[in-house]
Amino acid sequence: MLAKRIIPCLDVRDGQVVKGVRFRDHVVVGDILELAQRYRDEGADELVFYDITASPDGRTVDRSWIRRIARILDIPFCVAGGIRSVADAEEVLGEGAEKVSINSPAIADPELINRLSARFGAQCVVIGIDSQTVEGVYQVYQFTGDPNRTRNTARKTLDWVREVQERGAGEIVLNCMASDGVRKGYDIAQLSAVRALCRVPLIASGGAGAKEHFASVFNEAKVDGALAASVFHTGALPIPDLKHYLRETAIEVRP
């Protein structure tokens, strides 16, 4: 049986792992290689490295660390942030990343999804979507790495989810912004709404604070993987404990 994936997300800024609350006030939580190795040893199924400053600053990611990660890591990892072209993606994948995740640049240039998918195959192309409810409608946000530039794109999230799949996305990470960093649980309602029209793997992001939150997002929103950061970085929820709990509640996970 296909296991549900537990995915620690390492927000990277200036070569270090940081974490903020609701995308603000970032504090350094550790060294990239050290954390990557630790999560791998603890049983993480995949890692996401997200350069939160890259897109808003209009600069590219410092990619020197990707190769160092790829040399030591024997589980898949995805790199997000600052990937705006086929050439950017080629570099990141060439260094050993399994997938690239595109967010703001896909909103600015949706054709980019088609080009990436045609060149590397859909399985390499993850679309990250930052979304929250505005007047009762789920809406897509852009440039969420920088509070001063964050803006509502006026795109409806459900429409965007349909479009990115048509264009060749191989996976969708839905980050529910209102839940992010506050550890009150995933936004089950929003994830379920997206699940209903998502035919590619769907990863939940934003809100994990306790092991029960993972069980509900797998059972109720039927997502394929759950992404979390602070709950892992702080040591509040060790991955072996989480996986043990999920197994006890009859959710299939990799030992």
Question: Which among 130, 180, 187, 224 is annotated as catalytic?
Answer: 130
Q: Is 79 in the site for another protein (CB under 8 A)?
A: no
Among the residue ranges 80-88, 119-127, 129-137, 213-221, the one whose residues contact another protein (CB under 8 A): 119-127
| Segment holding 135, helix H or strand E | none
Question: Which among 11, 45, 187, 224 is annotated as catalytic?
Answer: 11
> What radius of gyration, in Å, describes the C-alpha atoms of the chain?
17
Whether 25 sits among the annotated catalytic residues: the reply is: no
Output the CA torsion 67→73→77→83 (10° steps). -10
- Beta carbon of residue 207, minimum distance to another protein (angstroms, whole number): 21
**DSSP strand pairing (137-142 vs 125-134):** antiparallel
- Residue whose C-alpha is closest to residue 112's, from 86, 94, 92: 86
* Number of alpha carbons in the 13 Å side-chain half-sphere of residue 75: 18
- Beta carbon of residue 82, minimum distance to another protein (angstroms, whole number): 18
Among the residue ranges 90-98, 128-136, 137-145, 178-186, the one whose residues contact another protein (CB under 8 A): 90-98
| Coil/strand/helix, residue 167 | helix
With CB under 8 A as the rule, give the number of residues binding another protein.
35
Q: Closer CB to another protein, residue 126 or residue 215?
A: 126
Q: Closer CB to another protein, residue 93 or residue 140?
A: 93
CA dist 53 → 48, 57, 174, 245 (Å): 15, 6, 19, 35
Which residue of 120, 143, 186, 214 would you call a contact of another protein, by CB under 8 A? 120
Q: Is 201 in the site for another protein (CB under 8 A)?
A: yes
- Residue whose C-alpha is closest to residue 89's, from 97, 14, 114: 97
**Residues that are catalytic:** 11, 130
Residue numbers at the binding site for another protein (CB under 8 A)? 1-5, 40, 45, 67, 70-71, 74-76, 93-96, 98, 119-124, 170-171, 198-202, 224-225, 254-255
